[in-house]
């Protein structure tokens, strides 16, 4: 008599529900990253050139900082 083991999970292939949930998690992560960059960009854009200079930045650095890239 043969037995079928249904308790073991396979890591190589995801079920449809697993693929949908991983896609949803990726989408939420992308939206969160975009929103954080938007908030940072808006906050830095409201600073004057003098205030930016005080923290060692120029206006052209704002996009790099907002997206987490290093500058200089």
Q: What pLDDT score does 66 carry?
A: 86
* Euclidean distance between CA atoms 25 and 10, whole angstroms: 20
Q: Which residues contact 14 (CB under 8 A, 6 or more apart)?
A: 22
The overall pTM is greater than 0.95: no
Which tokens sit at 65?
A: 């900082």
Instruction: Write down the residue that tokens 């043969």 correspond to.
Output: 2
- Residue 23 is predicted with a pLDDT of 92
Q: Which two tokens stand for residue 22?
A: 């991983």
Residue 69 is predicted with a pLDDT of 73
pLDDT in tens, 33-46: 999 999 999 999 99
Name residues of the chain where pLDDT drops below 50.
none
């Amino acid at each position: 008599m043969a037995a079928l083991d249904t308790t073991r999970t396979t890591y190589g292939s995801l079920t449809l529900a697993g693929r949908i949930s991983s896609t949803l998690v990726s989408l939420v992560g992308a939206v969160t990253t975009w929103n954080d960059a938007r908030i940072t960009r808006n906050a830095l854009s409201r600073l004057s050139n003098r205030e930016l200079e005080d923290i060692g930045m120029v206006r052209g650095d704002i996009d790099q900082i907002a997206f987490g890239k290093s500058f200089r």
